[in-house]
Chain A
Amino acid sequence: MLYRESGDFSSTYPQDSQTFPIKFDRYRYYFVLFIAIAVIPFIINDYWVNSLFLPFLIYAIAAIGLNILVGYCGQVSLGTGGFMAVGAYACYKLMTSFPDISMLVHVLLSGLITAAVGVLFGLPSLRIKGFYLAVATLAAQFFLVWLFNRVPWFYNYSASGQISAPERTFFGINITGANTQAWATYLFCLMFVIFSAYIARNLTRGSVGRKWMAIRDMDIAAEIIGVNPLRAKLTAFAVSSFFVGISGALFFSIYLGAVEVGEVFGIQKSFLVLFMIIIGGLGSIFGSFAGAAFLVLLPVVLKIVGVDWLGWPTDIVAHLQLVIVGGLIIVFLIAEPHGLAQLWRVAKEKLRLWPFPH
């Protein structure tokens, strides 16, 4: 009753393969977009932007990126933090070297630079699989963080070893530095989220996505139908790193403003994004959003419930969060390996027949 598809018929192939084949879904999607673009910017304040919206949007981009590599192409990566750092440092170098060029260009270029680095570290994937590849990407993680710590050129020889974002504007409005408007930073990130999700969706539904999924499901069979494994894996690494790089650039320049690489882009960041896509759903764009939302919301909700309502000490709540996330990972891996996205899919299938399931 809530959810019906009767009367929805597609008579052409494009209609049949569109992202939201059911009218109800389509309109809900437009509605969400409308709220995100035209309503939220007017009602948010600094607190909401910094504690919820910015991390959610930026992690969503990172999760989409990692999901392409792990969920669609089946290449496990633990180097997300390192690649985010590449995006952040690329953005920093570009911002300080070319102050007059638009932030839009800088962020996109950071993505492209990270894509190139990602391809480089993706080369071992042609030889090694699974666990061993994960270890190789782990090496990338530690190497990149070490590099940005040790080579002063990357942080412009600053005394603290940190990088901090100078003030930059976008269409005359401050989006980085000290004097930013909540709605401006939100919209700037939202723009990249929509851009990333749109590209990711298009790539995963077409021939490129099928090549990735073929490699993921059975690489020998993929080869026999004419997929060049080298190109398929490297494009996955490139596209994935492109998104991860964009998210790293935004994380540094828009969200944090100042970054100490080992602290922000350490191995924890890699795990956090990996947890997002495991909980959200491997091989699903929606899952990337769901996972990012879940892991960004969880600490906030726990803090409100635990500290503000129940009056527990802050450190206990912080530890409780680790316990809950760890437990959830195990539960999801055993009970629902396809994550929140699959739960959502099952719920939709049930609702389709509700209230007469037989």
Chain B
Amino acid sequence: MKDQADGYVTADGRQIGPVVMEMKNITLRFGGVEAIKDISFDVREGEIRAIIGPNGAGKSSMLNVISGFYVPQEGEVWYKGARRAPMKPFQVAQQGIARTFQNIALFEGMTVLDNVMTGRLTHMKTGLFAQSIWKGKAEAEETANRAVAERIIDFLEIQAIRKTPVSRLSYGLKKRVELARALAAEPSILLLDEPMAGMNVEEKEDMSRFILDVNDEFGTTIVLIEHDMGVVMDLSDRVVVMDYGKKIGDGTPHDVRNNQAVIDAYLGVAHDA
């Protein structure tokens, strides 16, 4: 891998673009606890960027900083070449950053189709008045966005459960619907918080394939947190390793695997008495 200002070419020959998001010296405290200590890393356009680390390392906190749930006490988030002012999660979403949750956060009272359609909300602009008339503008907008949603539904192979209430679905399918909802927003960056937690091997393989396909087909930049080392090493282009809120490694999966600090964090290290 040759690092250039405007990108690099991955081992499997994909062209990675310039930096789209950069975290600069982020520090996040909860009272006296420092969840994230002075972490910097960048995310390039079109790459799959993984954040790994043992439990409590601050990975989810990092994702929450990106998606606007937490405002870091120190540091800056740069997005698309500009410093991002502190903003609410819905404003982050409107900027084109979508995410999924570690614990599924679907709308249980709605059907799969409605859930995926909620992903289109940032693209739907008709006002209350046009909506209440329906015929004309609102219906046209609905139809156009439905077409996009249906393409995502096709893509993730959930056509058969389109009209099923989400509450009736299995865990693996719910995870897939959540991915569909995030994808429906056509995000420029997709944040995945443990997309494979609690899945069996087959479901993990399915999900990995979808993640690769999403990246390949839509060119979506993906930032993911995952515990399964095998999955992370296979999927990601570059990996950030965190431990106790600090960054202890950053690089290709190969670099990270041979990094002594990373090995120590995962396997433990003997302390001298």
Flag if B90 contacts A221 (CB, 8 Å). Answer: no
- Residue from the list A12, A207, A228 in contact with B90, Cβ < 8 A: A228
- Residues of A close to B98: CB separation below 8 A: 224-225
Residue total for A at the interface (Cβ-Cβ under 8 A): 31
Flag if B90 contacts A227 (CB, 8 Å). Answer: yes
A225 to chain B, nearest CB (A): 6
Flag if B121 contacts A206 (CB, 8 Å). Answer: no
Cα A284 to Cα B98 in complex, Å, equals 30
> With an 8 A cutoff between CB atoms, is B88 at the interface?
yes
Flag if B110 contacts A202 (CB, 8 Å). Answer: no
Given contacts A199-B132, A217-B109, A225-B93, contact A17 B122 (CB under 8 A): no
Given contacts A206-B138, A208-B131, contact A226 B105 (CB under 8 A): no
- Residue from the list A13, A214, A227, A239 in contact with B146, Cβ < 8 A: A13
Which of B155-199 touch A at CB < 8 Å? 181-182, 185
Which of B114-166 touch A at CB < 8 Å? 114, 117-122, 124, 126, 128, 131-134, 138-139, 141-143, 146-147, 150
Cα A216 to Cα B131 in complex, Å, equals 20
Cα A14 to Cα B135 in complex, Å, equals 10
- Residues of B close to A206: CB separation below 8 A: 124, 126, 131, 134, 138, 142
Flag if B132 contacts A203 (CB, 8 Å). Answer: yes
- Residues of B close to A208: CB separation below 8 A: 128, 131
- Taken residue by residue from 180 to 217, chain A's Cβ proximity to chain B (1 for < 8 Å, 0 otherwise) reads as 00000000000000000001001101111011011011
- Residue from the list A220, A225, A229 in contact with B185, Cβ < 8 A: A225
Flag if A213 contacts B138 (CB, 8 Å). Answer: no
Flag if A226 contacts B131 (CB, 8 Å). Answer: no
The residue of chain B having its C-beta at the shortest distance from the C-beta of A201 within the complex is B134
Cα A220 to Cα B99 in complex, Å, equals 12
B69 to chain A, nearest CB (A): 8
- Residue from the list A12, A216, A220, A226 in contact with B122, Cβ < 8 A: A226
Flag if A221 contacts B132 (CB, 8 Å). Answer: no
Flag if B139 contacts A14 (CB, 8 Å). Answer: yes
- Taken residue by residue from 222 to 265, chain A's Cβ proximity to chain B (1 for < 8 Å, 0 otherwise) reads as 11111111000001000100000000000000000000000000
> With an 8 A cutoff between CB atoms, is A280 at the interface?
no
Interface of A is mostly: helix
Interface of B is mostly: helix
Cα A17 to Cα B139 in complex, Å, equals 10
Flag if B99 contacts A224 (CB, 8 Å). Answer: yes
> With an 8 A cutoff between CB atoms, is B233 at the interface?
no
> With an 8 A cutoff between CB atoms, is B94 at the interface?
yes
A68 to chain B, nearest CB (A): 12
> With an 8 A cutoff between CB atoms, is B8 at the interface?
no
- Residues of A close to B108: CB separation below 8 A: 217-218
- Residues of A close to B107: CB separation below 8 A: 213-214, 216-218, 221-222
A116 to chain B, nearest CB (A): 14
Flag if B90 contacts A223 (CB, 8 Å). Answer: yes
Cα A69 to Cα B133 in complex, Å, equals 20
Given contacts A203-B131, A206-B142, A213-B114, contact A226 B93 (CB under 8 A): yes
- Residues of B close to A199: CB separation below 8 A: 132
Cα A208 to Cα B139 in complex, Å, equals 13
> With an 8 A cutoff between CB atoms, is B106 at the interface?
yes
- Residue from the list B67, B110, B119, B138 in contact with A217, Cβ < 8 A: B110
B-binding residues in A (CB < 8 A): 12-14, 17, 199, 202-203, 205-208, 210-211, 213-214, 216-218, 220-229, 235, 239, 283
30 intermolecular pairs with C-beta atoms under 8 Å apart: A13-B142, A13-B146, A13-B147, A14-B139, A14-B143, A206-B124, A206-B134, A207-B117, A207-B120, A207-B121, A207-B131, A207-B138, A207-B142, A208-B131, A210-B118, A211-B118, A213-B110, A214-B107, A217-B106, A220-B89, A220-B105, A222-B107, A223-B89, A223-B90, A224-B99, A224-B101, A224-B105, A226-B90, A226-B93, A239-B128
Instruction: Please name 11 further chain A to chain B contacts, defined as beta carbons within 8 Å, in addition to the given A217-B108, A225-B98, sorted by A numbering.
Output: A14-B139, A202-B134, A203-B128, A206-B134, A207-B138, A213-B114, A214-B121, A217-B110, A223-B90, A225-B118, A226-B185
By Cβ-Cβ distance, the 5 closest A-B pairs, closest first, are A226-B93, A217-B107, A221-B105, A226-B122, A202-B134
